């Protein structure tokens, strides 16, 4: 409910991470959180805590498992103090039950230039969609489907040598 005298502000998060410091918000909606400098949220948390405030983080997994949105999601998904909702395009319908986005819509977006990885992240909320420009994304997806990426047991008493191209995490 709105109290008389409340002020609603729409603010950008692309310029200054200190934008909310001193603004004294009671509630914040972080739209497309992975696109925001995470420091901005960290600076706002004590303000929200003091104001007994709230935050809503609305986003798709842009950049997959390589961003702060993913880290936050997996750290709170089972936390009873958080409400977490994970809805793909198949889970979203209008008030009549009609899908908001169809397979045909996604196919049209891909014909218009959207990559498979962007479609997977945007519509299917894939944490594993490759980042734009990632090398070997299609090949890695195929290796995963083929079962060629997996844990391999080893004997720690035997020396092991590995070689990597493009790095690893």
Q: E-assigned strands of the chain?
A: 27-31, 54-58
- Phi, psi angles (nearest 5°) of residue 31: -90, 130
Is the model's pLDDT at 95 over the cut of 80? yes
Helix, coil or strand: residue 71: helix
Label residues 35-54 b or e (16+ Cβ within 10 Å = b).
ebebebbeebeebbeeeeee
Q: Which pLDDT value is given to residue 153?
A: 87
In contact, 138 and 101? CB cutoff 8 Å: no
Q: Which pLDDT value is given to residue 9?
A: 78
The structure tokens listed for 138 are 């299609």
Q: Which pLDDT value is given to residue 167?
A: 56
In contact, 25 and 47? CB cutoff 8 Å: yes
Mind listing the pLDDT tens digit for each residue in 119-157? 998 999 988 777 666 677 778 778 888 998 888 888 999
Quote the mean pLDDT of the chain.
Answer: 86
Q: pTM for the full model?
A: 0.71
> Alpha-carbon distance 118 to 132, whole Å?
8
> Alpha-carbon distance 70 to 120, whole Å?
15
Residues paired with residue 5 on neighbouring β-strands, in sequence order: none
The structure tokens listed for 137 are 């994304």
> Alpha-carbon distance 131 to 147, whole Å?
22
Q: Which pLDDT value is given to residue 76?
A: 96
Helix, coil or strand: residue 10: coil
Mind listing the pLDDT tens digit for each residue in 33-67? 988 889 999 999 999 999 999 999 999 887 767 78
> Alpha-carbon distance 118 to 79, whole Å?
29
Q: Which pLDDT value is given to residue 81?
A: 94
Q: Degrees (nearest 5) of the Cα angle 40, 19, 76?
A: 25
> Alpha-carbon distance 92 to 26, whole Å?
29
Return the top range by mean pLDDT from 23-27, 37-41, 97-101: 97-101
């Amino acid at each position: 409910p709105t109290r008389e005298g409340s002020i609603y502000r729409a603010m950008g998060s692309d310029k200054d991470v200190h934008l909310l410091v001193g603004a004294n918000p009671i509630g914040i909606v972080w739209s497309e959180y992975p696109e925001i400098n995470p420091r901005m949220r960290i600076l706002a948390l004590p303000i929200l805590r003091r104001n007994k405030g709230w935050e809503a983080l609305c986003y798709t997994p842009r950049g997959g498992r390589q961003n702060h949105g993913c880290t936050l999601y997996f750290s709170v998904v089972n936390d009873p103090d958080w409400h977490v909702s994970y809805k793909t395009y198949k889970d979203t319908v209008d008030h009549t039950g009609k899908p908001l986005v169809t397979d045909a819509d996604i196919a049209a977006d891909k014909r218009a230039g959207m990559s498979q990885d962007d479609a997977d992240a945007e519509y299917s909320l894939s944490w594993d969609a490759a980042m734009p420009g990632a090398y070997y994304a299609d090949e890695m997806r195929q290796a995963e489907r083929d079962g060629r990426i997996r844990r391999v047991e080893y004997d720690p008493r035997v020396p092991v040598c590995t070689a990597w191209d493009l790095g690893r995490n």
